[in-house]
Structure 1
Amino acid sequence: MKAAYEDIVNVNHIASFVSRENLADILALAQRENIAPASQDVKRTLLLAIDVQNDFMEGIGSLAVAGSKGDVRRLTKWMYRHIESLTGVICSLDCHSMMQIFHPVWWLDKEGKHPEPFTIIRYHDVANGTWTVANGETERSLDYLRNLEFEGKKQLCIWPYHCLEGTFGAKLESEFTKMLYFHAAVRNTKPKLVYKGQNPYTEMYGIIKAEYDKEHYVNHAVLNAIRAYDAIFIAGEASSHCVLASVEQILEYYAADRSITSRITLLEDCMSPIAGFENSTRQRFEELRDTYGVQIRKSMEIIL
C-alpha cells in the first residue's frame, strides 16, 4: 500500500484525550490506494471487534482494562496488514443510560446510600432488605436476580458508570476508528456498528443476547452475518466478560455446525481480561477450543 501504518494511526495517541478522527485526511489517504472492493473477495473474512471503546481503555476509561492500549495497537496493525483480504468489520458498542440495573443509582442500602462499584448484589440481599430498588422496580429487579441464579449466570455486579450514551466514554477509540474507516474507504465497504446493553433491566455482556431478559431477544442479524464469512476473527475488550460472552453465545447458537465454529479465531494478543479473571478466562477459551474447534492465535501468526 502507498499509505504507511503510521500515516493512519499515531500509536502515541492510542487511548488518549488528544486523539481525534479527521476523516477527510483518512479519505484522502484511501483515495491513493488501488485495492479491489470487498464485494469481489472470493474468501470472505470478518473482524468482530467487541467494545473497543474509550471507557475500556487504560488511562482514560471509567472501566479501564489493563493492556487495552497495546491491544488496540496490535489490532490496528493486524487490520493494516490484511486490508486487502479483510472483507468486513462488525463492531459492538456498549451503550447505557445512567439508570440501569448494574449502575449504583439503581440501588440503595439501609442508610439510603448507593452501592460502591464492584458490589455484588444477590437475590437474598434484596429479599431481606439489605438493598432496595431506588426507582420502585422491585418486582422486576427480583425477577432478574432470581433468573440469574436459577440459570447459573454471572452474579449482578455494580459497575462504574460507563459507556453512557452520548459521552466520550461510549465512543470507539479514536485511533481504531481511523483504521476502521480507512479500511472502509479503501475496500468500498461499510462497517456495521451494533449497539448493545440498552435494556435497563438486564446486563448484556455478549453481542447476541442479554444475561436474562423477559423478551428473550437474540441478535439474529449478527448471527446470520457470521454465517456468510469463511473466516471470523474476534478481538476487543474485555476478554473475560464481553468478548468471552460473545464467543460463548455464537458457539452456543452454532453448536451443531462445526464447519462454522471452526472458522472462528480469537486474536489473543488483541484482547485483555479484567484483573483477577486472567486464569479463568484462559481456561474457558481453551475449553471452547477443545469443544468447538475455535483457534486461539496471536495476531502476528495470521497469514491471510
Structure 2
Amino acid sequence: MTRIIQSLAEISKPYDVLFCDLWGCLHNGVAPFPDAVEALQDFRARGGKVVLLTNAPRPSKFVMRALDKMGCPRNAYDLVVSSGDAAQDAMFAGAVGRKVWHLGPSKDDGFFTEVPEEWQGQADIERVDFEQAEGIVCTGPFEEETEVPEDYRAKFLLAKLRELPMLCANPDIVVDMGDKRIYCAGALAALYEDMGGEAMYFGKPHPPIYDLARRRLSSIGGAEDSRILAIGDGVNTDVPGAAGEGIDCLFVSGGLAHDQFGPDRENPDPELLRGWLGARQVDPLYTIGTLR
C-alpha cells in the first residue's frame, strides 16, 4: 500500500539517484514548479544525482534548451535522457527503414537533423513524403494544440494497408501545457495499433529508455537499482516502468490525474488515491501531491 508523504526529503536518504519526470512533476510545459526545483536542488546538494527522464520526443540537448528557456536552473539536475534519444538510436539502426515519413510538429526536426555522435557517418535516414515511405516516425500531431488522434484515421488506414511500421518517439498519451491538455505521439500510436498497425515504443514504460539512462548515468558514477528512485505522474508510464525495472517509485498525484483525488492538489485523499491505484493494479511505494 502506497505511503503518502509531504516532502521528498522524508524518504530520499536511502537513494543516490533520482529518475525524475518533467511534465507534471518539474514543470507544466510553461514554467517550472519552484518547490520541485528546490527539492531537486536540495537532493543534489546532499550529494545525490538527478537524471531527468522524459518521454519528450526530442534529443536531450533540445529538452535542455527548452528547460533553459522556461527558467529551469541547470543546478537542479545532472543529466537529461529522453524518449527521443532512445528512439533516435532505433531509427538510425533502421527500425522502420531508411526512408521515413515524419508525423509531428516542426519543433521536432532535431530528431532527424541532430545525428548522435555514435551514428555520425553511418546512418542514412531520409525524410520523404508518405507515398515513398518505408516507415513512419511519429513525434506527435502536426498541430498538437488543435488536432486529435481521430484526425489521422484515414491516413493510418492507408499506412496499415501498406504495412508501414511506426516508431513512436513519445509513448505518453496526453500532457498538460499550462491549463490545456494536448495529445502526444502515444495517442496516435495507440490508434494505429487499434486499427491493426504495428507500433514500436522506446520511452517509458519500455526498457530502452531505462537502459540508456543507466549507461549515461555510469559516466558520472552510476548506482545500483536499489539506490534509484523514480518520480513521475504517469500511471501508465512512470509507475509501471519503474516496477518493470525493479526501481522504487514516487507517484506525483497532483500531475495528470490531479482531479481524481479530491480538491486539494497537494494533499490527495488517501481513500480515493488507494482505490484509484488499486483499480489500475499499480502500487507505487510512495505518493506525494506535488513534488516538493
Q: TM-score, normalised by structure 2?
A: 0.38
The structure with more radius of gyration: 1
Greater strand content: 2
